[in-house]
């Protein structure tokens, strides 16, 4: 995980992470609060590809050396 910050255009939280071992990786993130929604976006915080989540956890796959930006809305 490289960045956790407030989104530019809302009260959402931006999480940016990257895969550094050149491996396809099943990833699980656990947050300190319940998630209301979580989407994958680009580095300019545009886009809304849904990410699977339940409660405080989110799941997705990282490709080798991929950079992923997530926009999280908490309950």
- Tell me which H or E stretch contains 25: strand 25-30
- C-alpha 69/C-alpha 61 separation (Å) is 13
Domain boundaries, the chain: 3-74
pTM of the model: 0.92
The pLDDT assigned to 15 comes to: 98
In this predicted model, what pLDDT tens digit does every residue of 16-66 receive, in sequence order?
999 999 999 999 999 999 999 999 999 999 999 999 999 999 999 999 999
3-74, which class in CATH? Answer: mainly beta
Average pLDDT over residues 64-69: 97
The pLDDT of residue 1 is 92
């Amino acid at each position: 995980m490289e960045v956790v910050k407030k989104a530019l255009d809302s009260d959402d939280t931006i999480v940016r992470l990257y895969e550094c071992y050149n491996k396809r990786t099943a990833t699980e993130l656990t947050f300190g609060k319940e998630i209301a929604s979580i989407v994958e976006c680009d580095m300019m915080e545009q886009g809304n590809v849904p990410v699977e989540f339940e409660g405080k956890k989110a799941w997705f796959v990282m490709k080798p050396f991929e950079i992923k930006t997530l926009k999280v809305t908490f309950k």
